[in-house]
Amino acid sequence: MTPIPPGLLQYHVSKDTIIGMESEIKTLKKTNSDYKQNFELECHTKENLMRLIPTTQTGLANKDSWRILLLLRSVDGNGGVCLKGALINNVTGEVALISSINAAIQAVYAHRTISSHDEEYKICQCKMIAPLIFWEELRNRLTN
């Protein structure tokens, strides 16, 4: 995957880049002891889509072009919700990789965030770090 400088979101990931991760995913599966890391598949609702679209120039310019390709959700014991999403741009065909957190996690999150289209959720201003299930399922959805 193309290196992303700190503080930038991954808006323009090509499908081929993700599909090309097959060998890395297979290698990691052999040694991975926590495949899901407390993440589960989440519904592709309009509300969840709004939680994943940042209020940046790119996010706003493409607001009506995004659709959820994959969404995982994790809930901690304090009511904190973390969403890991892959959005596909219906115009360009590119994938955006977005992490979004609710207010409970924002209270202890020490890194930069960007507003989303949901007042309670903020977008993590960083590259995607996700459990192996995310990468394998995203690859599967792009190849099937």
Per-residue model confidence as pLDDT tens digits over 85-118: 999 999 999 999 999 999 999 999 999 999 999 9
The pLDDT value recorded for residue 43 is 97
Residue 127 included in any domain: yes
pLDDT-derived band at 33, boundaries 50, 70, 90: confident
Beta carbons of 96 and 86 less than 8 angstroms apart: yes
Residue 5 included in any domain: no
The CA distance from 31 to 126, in Å, is 26
Read off φ and ψ for residue 62, nearest 5 degrees. Answer: -115, 15
Residue 94 one-letter amino acid = E
Residue 76 included in any domain: yes
Tokens of residue 5, six digits? 């400088």
Beta carbons of 43 and 125 less than 8 angstroms apart: no
Number of structural domains (the chain) is 1
Residue 4 included in any domain: no
Residue 88 one-letter amino acid = I
18-32 per-position pLDDT tens digit: 899 988 888 888 888
Mean pLDDT estimate for the chain: 90
Tokens of residue 28, six digits? 């990691």
Residue 1 included in any domain: no
Q: Which domain holds residue 68?
A: 10-143
The CA distance from 87 to 82, in Å, is 16
The CA distance from 54 to 51, in Å, is 8
pLDDT at 50 over 90: yes
